[in-house]
Amino acid sequence: MTTETHSSTEHGMSNAGYVRIAVILAAITGLEVATYYVDFGALFLPSLLLMMAVKFVIVVSFFMHLKFDNKLFSWVFYAGLILALTVYGIFLATFHFFS
């Protein structure tokens, strides 16, 4: 087993893999910016939110290594995130933000 493979197994991906992930993130950012200039119609909001979520998950999973790390770290982080989404979702609904 090479040093690279050993490192990739324990700590995520190879450097080339990280560069590929960054290229994907840059491409999604380009698409996001395009929605500001091109009329996506009814797909505007869903597509923007979907791209934001995809970028979020990619960074957390690959750059922050949650995909490769112990599941307890994922539970701890996503518990905070889900709690925040729930609390502030209710908060915004209370002020009729969604209506």
Partner 1 sequence: MTADSHIDSHGAAHTSTGLSNNKLGMWLFLGSECLLFGGLISTYMLYRGRVGEGPRPSQVFDIPFTSVSSFVLLMSSLTMVLAVSAAHKGDDRNTHLWISVTALLGATFVGGQVYEFTAFYNEGMGFTTSLFSSSFYVLTGFHGVHVTVGIIMLMSTVGILKRSKVPGSKAETIELIGLYWHFVDIVWIIIFTLIYLIPA
Q: Which residues bind partner 1 (CB under 8 A)?
A: 3, 7, 10-12, 15, 18-19, 21-22, 25-26, 29, 32-33, 35-36, 45, 48-49, 51-52, 55-56, 59-60, 62-65, 70, 72-73, 76-81, 83-85, 87-88, 91-92, 95, 97
In whole angstroms, how close is the CB of 1 to partner 1 at the nearest point?
13
By beta-carbon proximity to partner 1, the closer residue of 10 and 42 is 10
By beta-carbon proximity to partner 1, the closer residue of 42 and 95 is 95
Burial group, residue 68, by CB count within 10 angstroms (0-12, 13-18, 19+): middle
Q: What span, in angstroms and rounded, lies between the C-alpha atoms of 98 and 59?
A: 28
**Secondary-structure breakdown of the chain: helix, strand, coil percentages, each rounded to the nearest 5:** 80, 0, 20
Question: Do residues 8 and 14 lie in contact, with contact meaning Cβ atoms separated by under 8 Å?
Answer: yes
Q: What span, in angstroms and rounded, lies between the C-alpha atoms of 50 and 36?
A: 15
In whole angstroms, how close is the CB of 43 to partner 1 at the nearest point?
13
In whole angstroms, how close is the CB of 64 to partner 1 at the nearest point?
5
